[in-house]
Amino acid sequence: MLSTLFHIPTRITLGGVSLPLAGFGVLMVVWGIAAVVMLKRTATVHGWRAAIETLGLPLAIVAAAILWLMPALDDGQGVPVRGYGAMLLLAATAGAWLSIVRGRRMGFDADTILALGMEIFLWGIVGARLFYVIEYHDQFFAAGRTWPETIGAVLNVAAGGLVVFGSLPTAALATWRFASRRGLSLPRLADCVAPGLLVGLAIGRIGCFLNGCCYGGPCDLPWAVQFPPESPPWLDQFSRGLLPATPATGGIPWSLPVHPAQLYAAIDAAVLATLLCAASATPLARRDGQVFALALTLHPISRLLLEAIRVDEPPALGTPLSISQLVSLVLLALAATLWWWTSRQPPRPRPLPRDSLTIRCREHGPLVVEMPTDEQFQGLCLRVTDHRGEAFPLPAGKRAVALCRCGQTQNRPFCDGSHKSCGFEAADRAPPG
């Protein structure tokens, strides 16, 4: 357990001048520059309105955290960097990277995945925190606590306290709104990011281990772990009278050995992410949405089993099951519905040969394509899709001509993606003419 990794100083010294880091300080200036760069880059491809709609709120939330939340977290030594919060950021980064890699193969550019990832991360945190606050409301709304103290405790996510299943409704709604705004296929987008979400969950569970939350019950296995005094497992065992009053070694005893349930969950999520990546090229995922349906099937099953080891959640709603187990049953019902719906959808097109060329139209801009006939194009398989990933029917026996909306293709047979204002992208460059 390592709840606090280090402290960030509230002031830094540059050339003998002491400057504030958080609040209206150096960090805010750096974030402002980064925000302008991200907005401009997204606007170049999708327009300023889409850039502001997509990035405006996430950028504003981060700015608010720098301005007000970080100074409020100063404990006299600086702003503590919690192991839990650090793992959350690492989880978001790793999940976004994997989704970008998969997105390139599925027709989604990196800007699209990054914008979506930021929305999923922020709205997922909101839902997961809200679920936790509702489930453990006595910790936040205790008698004698002032409203500023309560609000500060609710907003202090970096100290721990998220329920993974609570993030699903808000993250799903954010994904649906994102896909609707950009005219993207929601099932295909869900397939793209599903393994990345599980990679993020695997790393996030390591954060739970560092924080001491989501702990398991006592056990005597060789890999059992003990937690220090004042940790969540220790407080739980102390309240139930399980700890010896005076240990033989003297001092305050550590907790009894318990299952490292957090590490079990991390390994489970990593294995499921690997399975989803492998399943993407199997008959299990012949239709858009089936990779996500597989995740929605396997994760609740494993969660039902893992919850039998954990002791941090009491039975809920008059049943012998925890709230997470009850939610898992609901998700399994949703997974069955999703499998039924995807089975009625047309299968994905067959993978194209290695010497084929795919041209994908962007959301805006005209595209004209004719099939190749010149000798230098013989044997080249051409496939053109719109921005939703749906194929255009192409006439046979004609030379390939593609015009981007900016008119800068000149006399080249294909736009090679060298201008960002093109109306389409090529997965590979055309053979030299």
> Residue 19 phi/psi, 5° resolution?
-125, 145
Q: At what angle do helices 290-307 and 186-211 cross, to 10 degrees?
A: 30
Q: Could you tell me which residues are beta bridge partners of residue 194?
A: none
**Which CA distances in Å does 137 have to 47, 154, 188, 237?**
43, 10, 37, 21
4: left (phi over 0), alpha (psi -120 to 50) or beta: beta
Tokens representing 136 are 């453990």
In the prediction, which pLDDT does 390 show? Answer: 63
- Per-residue pLDDT tens listing for the chain (433 residues): 778 788 888 888 877 788 888 888 888 999 999 999 988 888 887 788 888 887 888 888 888 888 887 887 787 788 888 888 889 889 989 999 999 999 888 878 888 888 888 888 888 888 888 888 887 777 777 777 777 777 777 877 766 677 777 888 898 899 999 888 888 889 999 999 999 999 999 999 999 999 888 899 999 999 999 999 888 899 888 888 888 766 555 577 888 999 999 999 999 999 999 999 998 877 777 888 999 999 999 999 999 999 889 888 888 888 888 888 998 999 999 999 999 999 988 887 665 555 455 555 555 554 555 444 455 455 556 666 655 566 655 555 544 455 444 444 444 444 444 433 333 444 433 444 3
Contact (Cβ atoms closer than 8 angstroms) between residue 383 and residue 389: no
Cα distance between residue 388 and residue 51, in whole Å? 19
CB atoms within 10 A of CB 243: 16
> Residue 365 phi/psi, 5° resolution?
115, 140
Cα distance between residue 382 and residue 187, in whole Å? 25
In the prediction, which pLDDT does 361 show? Answer: 54
